[in-house]
Structure formats: C-alpha cells, structure tokens
Structure 1
Amino acid sequence: MNVTGGKVAVVAIGRNEGDRLAQCLGSVMAIGTPAVYVDSGSTDSSVALARGAGIDVVELDGRIPFTAARARNEGFEHLRQLAPDLSYIQFVDGDCEIVAGWIEKAVAFLDSHRDVAVVCGRLRERYPERSIYNRVCDIEWDRPVGETHACGGNALMRVDAFERAGRYRADLTSGEEPELCKRLRATGWRVWRLDAEMALHDAAMMRFGQWWWRAVRTGYGFAQHAYLFRTPSQRWGCLRAWLWGVWLPLACLAFGVVLGPWGWASWLIYPLRWLRQTLRTPGPLSRRSLSALFQLVSAFPESWGQVKFMHERFLGRQARLIEYK
C-alpha cells in the first residue's frame, strides 16, 4: 500500500548486483510507490530480475560512459514521464535495502521543513563481521546527525529543488552527491541527516583488491573534482594522497639509502601518524585504530587513482566507471 499519498517515487540503480539487487527491489516494492530500475550494462540477470518483479527498467546506452550520476538522472527523467506530479524522489543503490518506515519519516521531515532539499538517514553495513573491509565501510557510514554538507547515494530529495539545481552532473565518476548538495546549498537549500535507520548496505568486500580499487575510485574522484572545480577541499584531498602515498615514501627511501639506519627510521612517520589519528578520533579503541589504519593506507591507491585520471586526461579519454566488485 502506498502510504505516502502518491508523492514519492524511487529510482534504484545497479550493475551486476545479483542477490543484492533482489533485496533492494524487494524493499522498493514494499513501499508501494512508482519505481524504476536503471541498469548500467549488467551481464548477469539484473534486468530480467527487475522486469520479473514488475518494475520499469531503463537500460543505459553503453556507448556513453556509465556513471551513477547519469543512471540516477535517467531514472528520474523516466519517472517524471510516468508520474509528473511527484514531490519527492528516493534514490537507492542496488546494493542497498531501504529500511521499512524510512520513507514515511523522511517525507514527514521534508513536509515540515520547507527549506530542506535533501534528507538522508543512517546507513548500516549488512555484514560487517564478514571481513575487515566491510567493517571499515560500516565505520564510514556512521556520520553525525543534523544539518550536513552532503548526502550519499541513498537519499530522499525534493523534486523541484533537484530540477532547479540541474540534477546530478552526469560526467562525474564519483562524488556526484557532494557536488549536487553544494549547488543546492549555494541557492539557500539545506541538507539534513536524520537519526533514523535508512538503509542496509552490502559492500561484499572480501578481498584486499576490492578495497584497493574502491580507494582508487575515490582518488580518481578527488582528481576529477580538483580539475573541474578547483576547490580548496578537493585540492587538499589530492595533495594529502600525494604527500602520504608518493612523496613521503620516496623521501623515506632516499633517506634510508643515503643515511643508513637513521634514514630508515624516517618510516616511523607512518605509525606515528596512525597513532595520532587514533588518539584524535572519538569512539571505541578498536574502531578508532582500524579507521586510522585504513585512512593511512588509502593514500597509496588514492594517489594511483589520481595518476589514472591524469593519464586519461592526457589521452583525451572520457572518465569511465571504476568497479571494485
């Protein structure tokens, strides 16, 4: 039953999500609102699964590079044709399951806060115990509630605000949500994170290589944003990765070769940074230390992601989807 008065529709996006997509679409159907699934070139049974569930499907043209931003925009456009009087649009990634009751809480909040354009809630990792990489994701999802600068891929948005802002920037490989939220905030809208369960996420990261490519994508996004928007925060993200992932390792190596044992001691800067970050972060010690460790190590794949972006820019290639699953 549609408990939102026909004001809401859902756009789910995915690529080769398998069983995760089945759980996602099951949660979407339970809401009882209009919905569309946008597929980015899946080679599994994702499209057949969605159609078999009775959900409208948009298959993206593979001649244009796939991005999550492009998928969400095309899904939104499809729903606007089906239901032109929508007030809100819920975006959900195909590896996430919307928690029962979330839509009602989010709609009620937007109804009573006319200056808020985007609302999100708590995102939890479904199986944090299955791998250390899933656990790191679960830590990442834990963000302060209240007014915030940006949402993630799963969020409920006000349709008129989304359209006036120009929708997502479709050519962004990652970080399309903060970029959109920045444009919304620049025109007076606010973004809010509720203290309410929103969705379960299944990262399904069991191998180091998966985590590595996920971090490569982050670094690629930093470089792309710095190139396009030249904002101080994006530039710092790039410089941080280069400092800890390239320049300092080369300097420590040179010190070791030239100065011997005292030079090799320069590598202690890494455990010292890990300790500093652990002490500065609130929360249980095990959680703080794990988060600090992966923040430290992430500089290496993130710097590689920036190299990848610069290489593609040099060759004149369009940005393309970087997958880790």
Structure 2
Amino acid sequence: MVKGIGVVVIGRNEGLRLERCLASLAGRADKVVYVDSGSTDGSPARAAALGVEVLALDMTLPFTAARARNEGFACLQKHLPSVRHVQFVDGDCEVNADWLAKAQVFLDAHPQVAVVCGRRRERFPQHSVYNLLCDLEWDTPLGEAKACGGDALMRVDAFVAVAGYRPELIAGEEPELCVRLRAAGWKVWRLGAEMTLHDAAMTRFGQWWRRSLRAGYAYAEGASLHGAPPERHWLRESRRAWLWGLGIPLSIVLVSMLLGPWWLLLLLIYPLQAARLARRGGRSARENWLQAVFLVLGKFPEMFGQVKFWLNKFAAGKPVLIEYK
C-alpha cells in the first residue's frame, strides 16, 4: 500500500467497468471514496461490498463531474485528514498496479509539481473507430504540460489552495483547474508510465458527435474564463472551431450564390486540410488518416458547442450536461 494517498472515483451506471476500477485500487491506497451520481444499476452497493466509502450525491442539485470530485475530496479529507496526495479517477478506468507508487515518488522528488499524470489507454481500441480515436487522443507529449485529464494524482495542499474544481463547469474542468494551479506557481507533469485503461464504449457516430460538441462547449467556456493574455486558454481551439465550422463554409456558400456554383469547389479545402494533417502524423497511415479526417470533421460539432455555450451565457440559460454514453 502507498501511504498518504487517497483516491476519489466518480461514476454513474458503470457496472463491470466500476468493478474493474475499484478492484484495481484494492490495497493500493489508504482510502478510496466512490462518488455516485444517481446510478440505477446497483453501483453504490457494488462499491460498498468492495469495502469502498460510498458518497451518493444529492441529485436535486445541478450535477457536474467537477462537483462530484470536489464532494468526493471533502469526504476523503473527512475520513483521512492525513492525506497528502489524491488520485482522481473516472469510474470507467482501471488503474495500473504500479501507477500510484510511481506517481507519488515523482511528486515527492519534485516539490514544484502539483499534478502528475501518465499514459491513459483505451481498453478496446479495436472495437470501433471512435475508441481508436480516443486512444490516439490520449497519446500526448511527455514532460511539463499545461493540463491533465480526469485521471491524475494531485498534491492536496495545492488542490486546496486553489479551492479545487469549479463546480459549475459541465466540461473542461481539469484543464481549467490546471490553469489556476500554474498561475499560482505550480507545475503539471506527464510521465511515460502506464496510468489507466479507459473504456470509452463508443460505437456510434452520434456518440462521437456529442463528445466533440462537448469539447467545443469546453473550449468556449475555457476561453471565456481565461482567454486573455498571458494564458489565452483554449482561445486558438475556439477560433479554429468558428473558422472551420462556420466561417469558411458560410463564406464559400455565399460566394457561390453570388458568383456561381463552381465556387463550391473551394470546399475541397477540407479534404486538402485532412491530407495536410495526415502527412504530419507519426503513426500508421490508417491512424494518421483517421485522426486527420475526424479532426477536420470535428470542427463542426465543436462550432455547435461554441454556439451552445454563448447562447446559454447571453440568454442566462441553465447549463445541461452533454453526455455521449
């Protein structure tokens, strides 16, 4: 067992995935808290049977993953006041047996680092194109990073100092937290060590579309919060969504209406952009092309996500979770 580490797992109706997640943590931390957000598949009972502390969220209040993590952390601190490091894990992930020990050693050796994450992989990348795309997405550069994902080991003192996650964010809460940590002088680091196996369970185009729409929403909200210099958080991603998802196609259609249908040939800029991105890839030809095509195509749902955010903001609408499974 790694001393001084607590784990917060969040989930809803994860079934066997949750069992794998909790089993992978058995005997590896001082305390594990499972935060359930209204499961109907018996997840709380399954977690309790494995000896895990279960916290059932009050679902009459607006739910976000950020709120679930914050409340799980508060529960963890209550039961384990001596906790120094907290591992946040999504309930559809299995934690590598060596990860917690390696990550804690790194934090102990690097006092300026507040967050350390490792290699997240898809459990079944061969089951669908969309699972494979997730696996490619998780393969990010090693070393000092700007942000982490939902799975990461954090220094408790740093997490508390910035008041944890913003509970109102419906997406993109981890990078936003990292923005505030880095502004406070902390660093975020990504190791090459295996960290988690993730089960996206995406088999339909509609799931991929909603996940991309959620990303666009997160980009818009992140840019709204921290888009000003020097951070410029997700400003480039937001501008690309507007340019490729709306600006270019709308301009081409308007020009073709004024000057003739032959101007629609300018839409070939999209396959040309995909070809350019595919040539820059460092994987197999199939993976390079798949990632390139969906990166280009993804600008359309990302643009709709941007629109959704700004409509909510200006119309004082209530943010609603954008879920893909």
Q: TM-score, normalised by structure 2?
A: 0.94
Look up the equivalent residue of 2:52 and give its one-letter code.
I
Cα distance in 1 between the residues matched to 2:29 and 2:236: 44
Cα distance in 1 between the residues matched to 2:153 and 2:285: 34
Q: Deviations over 1:52-103 (max 9, x none)?
A: 2221111112222211111111000001010101111011001100011111
Q: Deviations over 1:220-254 (max 9, x none)?
A: 11122222333334333222112111222222223
- SS of equivalent residue, structure 1 residue 120: strand
Cα distance in 1 between the residues matched to 2:223 and 2:113: 27
Cα distance in 2 between the residues matched to 1:125 and 1:86: 30
- Is 1:182 equivalent to 2:142 in the alignment? no
Correspondent of 1:205 among 202, 210, 216: 202
Assess if the C-alpha contact under 8 Å between 1:255 and 1:266 holds in 2.
Answer: no
More deviation in 40-49 or 16-25? 40-49
- Is 1:279 equivalent to 2:276 in the alignment? no
Look up the equivalent residue of 1:116 and give its one-letter code.
V
More deviation in 306-315 or 168-177? 306-315
Match of 2:72 in 1: 75
Correspondent of 1:107 among 96, 104, 107: 104
**1:137-286 equivalence runs, <5 A:** 137-231=134-228, 232-286=232-286
- SS of equivalent residue, structure 2 residue 35: strand
- Cα 1:144/1:229, change in 2 over 3 Å: closer
Q: Any stretches of 5+ residues in structure 2 without a counterpart?
A: none
Cα distance in 2 between the residues matched to 1:227 and 1:181: 16
- Is 1:133 equivalent to 2:130 in the alignment? yes
Cα distance in 2 between the residues matched to 1:253 and 1:192: 45
Identity within the alignment, %? 53
Cα distance in 2 between the residues matched to 1:244 and 1:77: 42
Match of 1:14 in 2: 11
- SS of equivalent residue, structure 2 residue 9: strand
Match of 1:296 in 2: 296
Number of residue pairs aligned between Structure 1 and Structure 2: 322
Match of 1:53 in 2: 50
Assess if the C-alpha contact under 8 Å between 1:65 and 1:321 holds in 2.
Answer: no
Cα distance in 2 between the residues matched to 1:145 and 1:298: 25
Cα distance in 1 between the residues matched to 2:223 and 2:284: 34
More deviation in 166-175 or 275-284? 275-284
Q: Deviations over 1:153-175 (max 9, x none)?
A: 10001111111121111111111
Q: Any stretches of 5+ residues in structure 1 without a counterpart?
A: none
